[in-house]
Structures are given as structure tokens and as C-alpha cells.
Amino acid sequence: MNTATLWLRGRSITVGSDWRFCEARIRIKGRRCFSSSPMTLVLSSMPYEKELAAAKKAATLAARLCQKVQKALLQSDVHSKSDKSPVTVADYGSQALVSLILERELPAEPFSLVAEEDSGDLRKESGQDTLKRITELVNDTLASEGSNGFSTLTTNDLLTAIDNGKSEGGSVGRHWVLDPIDGTKGFVRGDQYAIALALLDEGKVVLGVLACPNLPLASIGSNQQHSSNEVGCLFFAKVGDGTYMQALGGSTQTRVHVCDIDNPEEASFFESFEAAHTSHGLSSSIAEKLGVKAPPVRIDSQAKYGALSRGDGAIYLRFPHKGYREKIWDHAAGSIVVTEAGGICMDAAGNPLDFSKGKFLDVVSGIIVTNQKLMPSLLRAVKEALNAEASSL
Ligand code: AMP
Ligand code: MG
């Protein structure tokens, strides 16, 4: 019997001799992949293929723009390093590029993008110089792609591209989710940052791309020694298809997997470099209860998810301080990169992350990420540490 796998609401349906039943379901859901012939159903068995190709292209180009700005920033003097404008320029530039590339590569799809920036400040008189700089930078980056898909963009084109990121997301339809520079603090310090792009379909993350321009291609786990110090990684994953990594500058892709450690004594964990973004004290108490011996590996951005997906470490702990609400663009791409590599992402109470509620992720206490084997003991350690913290207040 011939079969094909169809994807609906992020779940697969195997279509066999009863394909007519599936066709009826697809029609009822109003999806575009319905067909009156089994042949077309088989063709639709490569879900999100062109979306992934477009996302990789967009994130790679945005990374090129950010690298250029970071290089200039690090070469600048101390005075201009305290100036926020390079980050602003790279943030807006990255968002505009991703928005433009996705729209160009996927012209047949309705376009919805949930992203961090809007053009409000750039439309003010005081933003005009910055707007010109961003437009120039985006035009230069597109020219370096060697593509003739765009004529020279005007400042108005730029504003429109940025404002295409105004969507609110949600549980209906498709939405791209973008953090144009995740880890701006790391970007300014010359450390890790990422361009994080994901696609939601009916509220579920179905693909994710993480471009990490400063992440070594070799493992960054503790006790690792490598001869190569080449940096720049592109991680990508699509639902049901595994996670892959390649060099940002181009190389063959390698499938990656989370580590299979089941003894916490051999595990190491990642957390934010910035103490303002997560409670280092709570992580240390969780690690102690779990029996982790290694010191934390502290790096910025969703590069942590990328590193975890290839087994550089075993655990990622994130416990923002009271009152902070996580945003979907800080976790959407990272979460699928880890889960497709065999890991699990949950909130501190063991709930799966729900990306269907708009811009915010409502999580209980924090986010924990690890492999299947360690998750049960990690959840117990988290519960104990949170209880101990509550009773000490
Ligand atoms: P990381 O580099 O992992 O520390 O995370 C960087 C992201 O943390 C940024 O992109 C922000 O969206 C987010 N962020 C900003 N402020 C906070 C905060 N107070 N607590 C937690 N995360 C934050
Ligand atoms: Mg971010």
C-alpha cells in the first residue's frame, strides 16, 4: 500500500488507502494543501521545506549584517561603545532583512511576522540619520548576497519591512516569530548572540533556525579541547525531521543530537551570562540538589539551545526574576532546535511551552531544558529548590 505523511496542526497523519478521509479533513480545516487527487496529497508530504530554505537564507543574511556591525562596534573607542545606536542599527537592519527575504521567497503565502521592533522611533525627526544608516546597511547586505531580487530600497521600504513584524501571533494560521538579535548584551560585549527565527502553525512551532555568528563550530562544553577555533553556526530544525547544524559561512550539514547522559554527576548546565536575566543562585541550588559537579557555562542568547542540541552540555536553566514575562521570540526557534535533537523543554512545573497565546509565553517560574533521561530528576530537583526558596522568604 502506498502511504504518505501529511502534516496538520503540527501532527502527522499517515495517508494510505483511506486518503479520501484525510482529504475531507483537510478541506474542513480550510488548508491549502487539499487536493482531489492522491498524487497531490503525496506531493504535500514535504511540509515546510521551502519555508525552511527561506528561513535559513533570511537568518544567514541577517547574521552577515550583524557581524559587520559588531566588528565595527568592537573596533570603536570606549566612548562609542557606550552608545546604544550600533545595537539599534543591527536590530532594525536584521528585522528588515528577514522580513524582506521571507516575503520575497514565499510570495504565495499570507505573511505574518511577530518581531521585537517597530518603526516608531525611526519615523521621528530624531531617527532620520539612523534610518538612513540602516537602509544603507540593508542595501549593502542584499548586494553582497549577489541577488538581483531587490532594486535599491528606499527608507520607506525599510520602514514598511520593519512594520511587517507587528503581528500578534496566536493559535490560528501561520506566524513567523523573530528575535532579530537575541542577546544584545552579548552582542555589545563581543560575545554570543543569535538571530532566532521560527514558524508557528496553528500555535505550534514547526520550524526554527538559529544563526549564531560567534559560536564555535567545535563543542563549547566544559573539559573540551579543540584544535579548530572556527566560529559561526547555523542550527535548523523542522518538525519530525531532526536538527542539523552547518557552518554559517556554508558547509555540509550534520545531524545533531542532545547528549545521552543519565548521570547528573557527569552533566553540565548552561545559563544566561546576565544575572539580571536569570537567578544564578537558584540554578546553583538546583544543580547541587541534582548532583551536578561541573560549574555553570554562562553564555548569552539562544546559542545555549544550539549548544545543547549538539550535546555540548546537558541542561539549560532559566529562572527570570519576579515580574518578568518571557516572550515567544526568545524561545520558539531554540525550543524546536532542542526538541528535534531529542531534548525536552518545559516550564518549571513540567508543562510544555505554549506558543499559541500571542507574544508572551506564560510559564510557571522558569524554563528548563534537558534530555529525556535527566528530565524526571531535574523536575524533582527544581521542585525541591523552589520549595526551599519559598520557605526561606
Ligand atoms: P540571555 O542572553 O539568554 O540572557 O537572554 C537574552 C534575552 O533575555 C533578551 O533577548 C531579552 O528578550 C530577554 N530579557 C530581557 N530582560 C530580561 C529579564 N529581566 N529577565 C529575563 N530575560 C530578559
Ligand atoms: Mg531575545
Which residue owns the Cα nearest ligand 1 atom 12? 330
Strands (E), the chain: 4-8, 11-15, 113-115, 174-182, 194-201, 204-216, 231-238, 243-247, 254-256, 269-271, 297-298, 315-318, 326-327, 343-347, 360-361, 367-371
Pocket of ligand 1, candidates 193, 214, 271, 277: which has the most ligand atoms within 8 Å of its Cβ, to mutate? 277
Instruction: Assess whether 91 carries a catalytic annotation.
Output: yes
Sheet arrangement for strand 297-298: 297-298, 269-271, 315-318, 367-371, 343-347
CA of 226 to the centre of ligand 1 (A): 30
Q: What digits encode the pLDDT tens for the residues 159-215?
A: 999 999 899 999 999 999 999 999 999 999 999 999 999 999 999 999 999 999 999
Residue located nearest, by CA, to atom 16 of ligand 1: 277
pLDDT, position 224: 61
Torsion (CA) 4, 8, 12, 18 in degrees, nearest 10: -50
Minimum CA distance residue for ligand 1 atom 20: 277
Buried b (16+ CB within 10 A) or exposed e, 161-171: bbbbbebebbe
Residue nearest to atom 3 of ligand 1 (CA): 301
Residue 269: strand pairing partners: 315
Distance, in Å, from the CA atom of 308 to the CA atom of 331, rounded to the nearest integer, reads 13
- The neighbouring-strand residues paired with 316 are 270, 369
Give the residue-averaged pLDDT of 280-290: 98
d(CA 274, CA 33): 45
pLDDT bin (cut points 50, 70, 90) of residue 147 is: low
191 alpha carbon, closest ligand: 1
* Plot region of 344 (φ>0 → left; ψ -120 to 50 → alpha; else → beta): beta
Atom of ligand 1 nearest to the CA of 193: 2
CA–CA dist 187, 199 (Å, integer): 24
Assess contact for 306 and 337: CB atoms under 8 A: yes
Please state the atom number of ligand 1 nearest to the C-alpha of residue 327: 12
Q: How far is the CA of 104 from the centre of ligand 2 (A)?
A: 25
**Which residues sit with their C-beta closer than 6 Å to ligand 1?**
179, 182-183, 186, 272, 274, 276-277, 300-301, 320, 324, 327, 330
81 has a pLDDT exceeding 80: no
In the reported structure, the alpha carbon of residue 77 is separated from the centroid of ligand 2 by a whole-number distance in angstroms of 26
**Measuring CA to CA, how many Å separate 35 from each of 22, 26, 88, 106?**
10, 9, 46, 21
Q: Is residue 73 scored above 70 in pLDDT?
A: yes
Q: What Cα–Cα distance (Å) separates residue 133 from each residue in 3, 90, 106?
A: 53, 10, 27
Q: Please tell me the predicted confidence (pLDDT) of residue 134.
A: 95
Which conformational region is residue 173 in: left (phi greater than 0), alpha (psi within -120 to 50 degrees), or beta? left
Query: What's the 110 CA to ligand 1 centre distance in angstroms?
Result: 30
Q: Mean pLDDT across the chain, nearest whole number?
A: 88
For residue 34, the model assigns a pLDDT of 42
| Residue given cell 500555535 in the structure block | 203
Residue nearest to atom 15 of ligand 1 (CA): 277
Decide if 3 is catalytic.
no
Q: Could you tell me the pLDDT band of residue 82, with boundaries at 50, 70 and 90?
A: low
Q: Which atom of ligand 1 is nearest to the CA of 116?
A: 12
Ligand 1 atom with minimal separation from the 274 CA = 4
In the predicted model, what is the mean pLDDT of residues 231-247? 98
pLDDT at position 76 = 73
**How far is residue 152's CA from residue 156's CA, in Å, rounded to a whole number?**
11
Q: How many A from CA of 90 to the centre of ligand 2?
A: 13
Give the ligand whose atoms come closest to the C-alpha of residue 303.
Answer: 1
Beta-bridged to residue 297, according to DSSP, are 270
CA–centroid distance, residue 195 to ligand 2 (Å): 9
Rounded to 5 degrees, what angle do the CA atoms 178, 6, 47 make? 35
Claim: this prediction has a pTM higher than 0.75: yes
